[in-house]
Structure 1
Amino acid sequence: MAAAASTTAGLYGRLNRTSTRGFLAYVAAAGACAAVLACFVISSAEPPAAAASNDAALRLSSRSTRVWPDLEFNWRLVVATIVGFLGSAFGTVGGVGGGGIFVPLLNLVLGFDTKSAAALSKCMIMGASASSVWYNLQVSHPTKEAPVIDYKLALLFQPMLMLGITIGVELSVVFPYWLITVLIIILFVGTSSRSFYKGILMWREETRKLMETQERDAQSKSDRAATDVVFDPSYAEPLLPQHKPTEKSGLETLWFNLSWKNILVLMAVWSSFLVLQILKNNSQTCSTFYWVINILQVPAAISVFLWKAMELCRDSHARRMNGNLECVCEASIEWSPAQLIFCAFCGLLGGTVGGLLGSGGGFILGPLLLELGCIPQVASATATFVMMFSSSLSVVEFYFLGRFPLPYAGYLIFISILAGFWGQCLVRKIVHVLKRASLIVFILSSVIFASALTMGVVGTEKSISMINNHEYMGFLSFCE
């Protein structure tokens, strides 16, 4: 078992040590181009002095008004149900949630305004991720005796992800819609391309390992036909090892996968952010109390992150000093201050994208966990687990703000719960039969690319409409 686990970890470590400099250069260059474009458009969008009196009306026209269609059976509801079910199923399997598909679906097909669509998208992500987590708690780790959810990585990323969501929600008030669309498309195209490339590398390596295993099995059978030969278990070490951990009953697996200490810490972080969000929403925007509550979220997130980061760094250093090369968590990297800062930045970025888009931040977290060396099953389970906390926080907050209709929310949550569970069940069985964990990576990249495509269509359509209506396309006032 140890040999199989080390073989698989080493394999994914080699695949994930591929340089990320090209991807980071792409993101930096594309972000710079978006900033230049923003400056050009905003300078062109500034109203002339003669029209200064109409400036407030133009700015207000850029904000979407609340539109809540009634829940009734028609072709729109059927289409939304089918697409929402498939989006939830594949989104949770990939560990990305599917918010990039849900928001355009709810906006274009059902007719919700953008803000209500983002709130309902969080409801769907919460339902799908909750059922997916329940499924993952009942399955064993594919390579070793460990929970399939990496709680150490979840604790590392969850506080920064929640802080990023808060930042993203506030930026969504200020940023013009077209700029949000451009930034998200840039990021999604980059992450989907990177994930697809990694999926190809994994597929090739899986093919090589499976072919070697078949050749060794054939050689072993031919040798056994001539004389009795002791079978070497190392021959059966493909990318997805044939050797499984100790068989457990469903209840035993569930209790083994639960880490109550880490779950209680995560619940404490969740509760603290919820209290701060409720206090902030009940205060006057831009008042002193409002900004104090906003600033308090920063030490709350950073303190938990630093606690877990120091623990990972200390454990990793102690193991290296003792000559133990085993990873302290599923990520096959040597934790260092530079890498931890990079993880903090990615967590903030993922949360910010989630706040801007109405997703759970999985579009960054899922590919990031793969980049850090997690095998696809663990990356998907951990990202979904973190999304369950972040999305549920947003749902509770949106409920107090009255941002979504309860009948629609209940229906969409029910559909997402079914989709999340059966999507995980079906795809994991296919992966088990075909011995192709790379299928999870291909699903992840496909969902991200589909989100980029739908966001591009919706963003382009709305931007053209704003241009034709001569609406203001610059930055909006946060305190308005």
Structure 2
Amino acid sequence: MVAGNAASNVLYSVFSASTGAGGGHLIDYDIALLSEPCMLLGVTLGVICNIAFPEWLVTLLFVVILAGSTFKTCRAGGRRWREESEEMREKKGEKEVPLEEGGVLLMVWLCFFLLQFLRGDKEGKGIIKIKRCGLGYWLTTSSQVPVALLFTTYIMYANDRQQRRRRHGGRRSTQDHISYSSAPGRRSRGLFGIGGGLLMNPVLLQIGISPQITASTSCFMVFFSASMSSMQYLMLGMKEVNQALLMAAGCSVTSMAGVILIQRAVGKYGRASLIIFTLSTVMVLSSISITGFGIIDIWKDYMDGRSLGFKLPC
């Protein structure tokens, strides 16, 4: 569902940039490149934890993270609203999608997918025969750590070299200044594998990225990580695939409608902070619903005598 939702957002963002409707790039490909390798590594860790952790712990962690992200997003929205009241800024950029960055992102995704394929499905069937939860299985799984760090290091080096060329060439625009000054924040997020829309949106807003670029960039990264997560769950024997595909299609259509509506509202009222407040509202409602339904599910498991402890990741 998340992959379908993100896909429609990415298509809209790319189309807006190519037609000039978005006033330039809505996706910051530098941020996506630097963060994506460790986001994909986090997907693998998340899948393992989701299988091994008891439901009450997963619910608790999700609520804590969601509450913190909601607070930061609301605070960023208030700050952005005050800034918009003082001045309205327009940004211009190139209209074409950078093929080099897109190619590197695709290569990162394919590398992680290949490692998942080598590891095999829940029966251990893959390109090579690996015993489920055996030495080869965990060596293949842990190899994603150096792969993520290698890609992150390369991208950091390439970004720094590009910024040096721009400065020496005397072409340092406002957007270049924002990208270069926020580089340390990007590095820390990449190295620690912070990702996902719930975390990326508040973080990008905190370092001064505009709401439009924040929303588009976050969806762009989520599309890669969600599609990777979907592949892993499919290989682990996820059931009701047809129902999931149907719901993904529904999410894609409704998400596209929501993006178009909010972009028209921003264009009409000149308030990009509307994006932040909309996101904050959804996050608040999500926190309430996740907490409520989580407590109900945990109570049912307790009354039915089901185990509330940790489970084996295999």
- Alpha-carbon spacing, 1:325–1:386, altered in 2? closer, same or farther (3 Å): same
Matches within 5 A, 1:304-453: 304-316=151-163, 324=172, 326-328=174-176, 331=179, 333-336=181-184, 339-345=185-191, 348-350=193-195, 361-453=196-288
**Deviation per CA, 1:27-86, whole angstroms, max 9, x where unpaired?**
xxxxxxxxxxxxxxxxxxxxxxxxxxxxxxxxxxxxxxxxxxxxxxxxxxxxxxxxxxxx
Distance in 2 between the 1:395 and 1:191 partners? 24
Residue 322 (structure 1) shift = 8.0
Matches within 5 A, 1:98-109: none
Equivalent residue in structure 1 for 2:103, among 264, 270, 292: 264
Q: Paired residue for 1:77? A: none
Asked if 1 retains the 8 angstrom alpha-carbon contact of 2:16 and 2:22, the reply is: no
Asked if 1 retains the 8 angstrom alpha-carbon contact of 2:47 and 2:229, the reply is: no
Residue 154 (structure 1) shift = 0.8
Asked if 2 retains the 8 angstrom alpha-carbon contact of 1:144 and 1:245, the reply is: no
Residue 173 (structure 1) shift = 2.0
Q: Paired residue for 1:467? A: 302
The percentage of counterpart residues that share the same residue type is: 28
Equivalent residue in structure 1 for 2:62, among 180, 184, 188: 184
Residue 387 (structure 1) shift = 1.3
Instruction: Give the 3-state SS of the residue equivalent to 1:137 in structure 2.
Output: helix
Q: Paired residue for 1:225? A: none
Corresponding letter in the other structure for 2:103: L
Residue 183 (structure 1) shift = 1.3
- Alpha-carbon spacing, 1:417–1:267, altered in 2? closer, same or farther (3 Å): same
**Deviation per CA, 1:84-105, whole angstroms, max 9, x where unpaired?**
xxxxxxxxxxxxxxxxxxxxxx
Distance in 1 between the 2:186 and 2:252 partners? 34
Residue 401 (structure 1) shift = 3.8
Asked if 1 retains the 8 angstrom alpha-carbon contact of 2:33 and 2:101, the reply is: yes
Distance in 2 between the 1:403 and 1:196 partners? 36
Distance in 2 between the 1:468 and 1:414 partners? 36
- Alpha-carbon spacing, 1:177–1:426, altered in 2? closer, same or farther (3 Å): same
Equivalent residue in structure 1 for 2:16, among 139, 142, 146: 139
Corresponding letter in the other structure for 1:286: C
Q: Paired residue for 2:4? A: 127
Matches within 5 A, 1:148-163: 148-163=26-41
Q: Structure 2 length normalisation: TM-score?
A: 0.86
Equivalent residue in structure 1 for 2:50, among 172, 176, 179: 172
Residue 467 (structure 1) shift = 2.9
Distance in 2 between the 1:139 and 1:325 partners? 22
Q: Are 1:286 and 2:164 matched, yes or no?
A: no
**Deviation per CA, 1:241-267, whole angstroms, max 9, x where unpaired?**
3xx759xxxxxx9xx332211111111
Distance in 1 between the 2:54 and 2:286 partners? 19
Equivalent residue in structure 1 for 2:150, among 291, 300, 303: 303
Residue 459 (structure 1) shift = 1.6
Distance in 2 between the 1:319 and 1:349 partners? 28
Residue 380 (structure 1) shift = 0.8
Instruction: Name the Cα RMSD after superposition.
Output: 2.7
Corresponding letter in the other structure for 2:146: P
- Alpha-carbon spacing, 1:172–1:329, altered in 2? closer, same or farther (3 Å): farther
Residue 206 (structure 1) shift = 1.5
Corresponding letter in the other structure for 1:127: G
Instruction: Give the 3-state SS of the residue equivalent to 2:181 in structure 1.
Output: coil
Distance in 1 between the 2:24 and 2:58 partners? 40
Corresponding letter in the other structure for 2:307: Y
Q: How many residues align?
A: 304
Asked if 1 retains the 8 angstrom alpha-carbon contact of 2:5 and 2:252, the reply is: yes
Distance in 2 between the 1:136 and 1:456 partners? 33
Corresponding letter in the other structure for 1:311: A
**Structure 1 residue ranges without an equivalent (≥5):** 1-123, 210-237, 247-252, 351-360
- Alpha-carbon spacing, 1:431–1:340, altered in 2? closer, same or farther (3 Å): closer
Residue 197 (structure 1) shift = 1.0
Instruction: Give the 3-state SS of the residue equivalent to 2:291 in structure 1.
Output: helix
Distance in 1 between the 2:148 and 2:287 partners? 29
Asked if 2 retains the 8 angstrom alpha-carbon contact of 1:149 and 1:382, the reply is: yes
Matches within 5 A, 1:107-118: none
Residue 349 (structure 1) shift = 3.6
Larger radius of gyration: 1
Q: Are 1:199 and 2:77 matched, yes or no?
A: yes
